[in-house]
Structure 1
Amino acid sequence: MALAGKKVLIVYAHQSSGSFNAAAKDAAVEVLTAKGCAVKVSDLYAMKFKAIATAEDIQGEVKDAQHFDYAEETKLAWEAGKLTADITEEQHKLTEADLIIFQFPMYWFSLPAILKGWIDRVLTLGYAFSVEKRYGQGIFKDKKAVLSFTTGSEESMFSANGINGDMNVTLWPLQNGILHYCGFQVLAPQIFWAPAHLPREANTNLLQAWRTRLEGLLEEAPLTFTPMDYFDGEKGFRLKPEVQQKQSTEKFGLTVGIHLGLAVPPNNMMRAGV
């Protein structure tokens, strides 16, 4: 997929314009714009984006105020065009985009609250997913997404024998439970390991590697997830017996999250084709 003419949305979550995350975001804007992409940036802190999902996200009356169900109520509001302007604006950007880059510092093994709030409020039921349209059959199956983030810990601490645990396991809820769930083709994450602890020259090299990757980002193969047809929808979406039996003789499990007690496949959430 050539970059020229493609639309890119960068969802950026950092408070400081002098941060490494800001530099990574700026590099993406510069490289992708130079390659002919139309790039939009949602700078969540600058936008003062509301992080909490509440009934205030709906204009007008809700269906059941006493037993408020955010997912169901926002689905109805999306269908009726009654979501608040900040949500609809982000949904419009997302609908147009071919590639979405999430740029953020990893907080507590996850996302900053303001970015999690963007996900909670923008990826509404009906718009981003449904019971019928999720995972490999997801609504955004024609879009690519990538997590680009900094860590506070060194790479060795996020290894299979490191004190923080395997980064592949840490990434499973984000890449499978959010991005793949909505159908995105998930590209391998861009991880900047502990840039705050590195000398300036090393950080410059990290950014240059990111610039180089950006040149061919849309041509990369996505990460591999277990196909939906491996599961029996009539039996709680559990692996079909024949799939489970065949997999039982393998050295590694299917994925980090679906491993059947076998060894977790190495780098399953960090490299394509694993």
Structure 2
Amino acid sequence: MMAQKTVLIVYAHHSAGSFNAAVRDVAVEELARQGCRVIVSDLYGMNFKASATEEDITGGMKNPELFQYGEETMHAWMEGRLTDDIITEQRKVQEADLIIFQFPLYWFSFPAIMKGWIDRVLAKGFAFSLEKMYNNGIFKDKKAILSFTTGATQTMLRPDGINGDINVVLWPLQNGTLHFCGFQVLAPQIFWSPAHCPHTVRTEMLRKWQDRLKGLWVEKPLTFAPCELFDLSFQGGFLLLPEVREEVRSNPYGITVGHHLGKPLPPDNQTRAQPPEEHNTQAACRD
């Protein structure tokens, strides 16, 4: 029998009556039904501190004359000197097989309190290093997914929509944050403009989310450019290898949204798993 799966939901919304709360509740109920252990970090409910400051470290600083948050928190993590709220969240991350980030899209990004969770919890050393990043990252055996609501309609976030391509919006969130730490990033669950939808449409959105959760463990993750395509040295500038650049020269699209190489962006690169890539799959929470 496969060991029980643990899911962490990092949740950021002010209101218990919000659509985001309903989405969270559907996930909790469905995943628990599958036999998963579900942990919810309700950031507003916890009054989680968003700002990354010297207060996150107990004991003295390595360099008190020039405070560098990343370096100081890395040493504090190694020495067990981070504050209790950070340590508690890091333990949840370590235990989780899957992290769901549930939030409303604010200014094309995470809400400030969730960004603060990312800044403080995913500390250097604990979540990433230059030696362990992207597909070789620390959390390469864990899955992550962004589940969020928008104020804009879906057409407003198309390549020809007034707000621009949602794939471009998602690139720094999914690649620059989650995949950088090694997570296998599943395609996002986007709830388009629920505040402007009738009740029947919102109900159908929740039903589709529940259906997706039933097969989430066997989904293929999004495709990102592996580190092996780059010269991973300061001398080489961490640039795409010349032979790789030559190999993709005739391709109609760039490699990814970020590595577009001056070509058209690969369609749906940040919103849909791209065949025919094959990935290891997980069974449901219990066999």
- Fold match (TM-score > 0.5): yes
Gap change, CA 1:3 and 1:178, over 3 Å in 2: farther
- Please, what is the CA RMSD of the aligned residues? 1.1
Aligned to 1:173: 172
- The share of aligned pairs that are identical, in percent, is 61
Paired residue type of 2:168: V
Relative to the length of structure 1, the TM-score reads 0.98
Counterpart-to-counterpart distance in 2, 1:104 and 1:233: 34
- Counterpart of 1:233 in structure 2 is 232
2:49 is aligned with 1:50: yes
Correspondence for 2:184: 185
Report the Cα distance in structure 1 between the residues aligned to 2:91 and 2:139, rounded to whole angstroms. 13
> What 5-or-longer segments of structure 1 have no aligned partner?
none
Tell me the CA shift for residue 186 of structure 1.
0.2
Tell me, yes or no, if structure 1 residue 270 matches structure 2 residue 271.
yes
Q: Whole-Å Cα distance in 2 between the matches of residues 122 and 97 of structure 1?
A: 14
1:151, CA displacement in angstroms?
0.2
Alignment match, 2:260: 259
**Aligned residue number for residue 140 of structure 1:** 139
CA distance in 2, matches of 1:183, 1:263: 26
- Following TM superposition, where does structure 1 have runs of at least 4 consecutive aligned residues deviating by more than 4 angstroms? none
2:247 pairs with 1:246: yes
| Superposed counterparts of 1:81-230, under 5 Å | 81-230=80-229
Cα deviation digits, residues 32-90 of structure 1 (max 9, x gap): 00100000000000000000000000011111222000000000000110000000000
Alignment of 1:16-31 (within 5 A): 16-31=15-30
Q: How many angstroms apart in 2 are the aligned matches of 1:154 and 1:5?
A: 38
Corresponding letter in the other structure for 1:24: V
SS of residue matched to 2:212: helix
Which amino acid letter does the alignment assign opposite residue 177 of structure 2?
Answer: I
Q: Distance in 2 between matches of 1:44 and 1:119?
A: 11
Give the SS at the match of 2:181: coil
Aligned 8 A contact 1:152 1:196 in 2 = yes
Give the Cα separation in 2 of the matches to 1:237 and 1:60.
Answer: 36
Q: Deviations over 1:119-155 (max 9, x none)?
A: 0000000000011000010000000000000000000
Q: Structure 2: which 5+ residue stretches go unaligned?
A: 276-287
The amino acid of 1:94's aligned partner reads V
Which position in structure 1 is the counterpart of 2:13? 14
Count of aligned residue pairs for this structure pair: 273
Q: Which amino acid aligns with 1:73?
A: E
Task: Output the TM-score relative to the length of structure 2.
Answer: 0.94
CA distance in 1, matches of 2:45, 2:2: 28
* Separation in structure 2 between the aligned mates of residue 262 and residue 248 of structure 1, nearest angstrom: 9
Preserved CA contact (<8 Å) 1:158 1:164: yes
CA displacement at 1:3 relative to structure 2: 8.8
Matches of 2:217 and 2:107 in 1, distance apart?
A: 29
- Deviates most, 53-62 or 41-50: 53-62
Structural mapping, 1:58-97, within 5 Å: 58-97=57-96
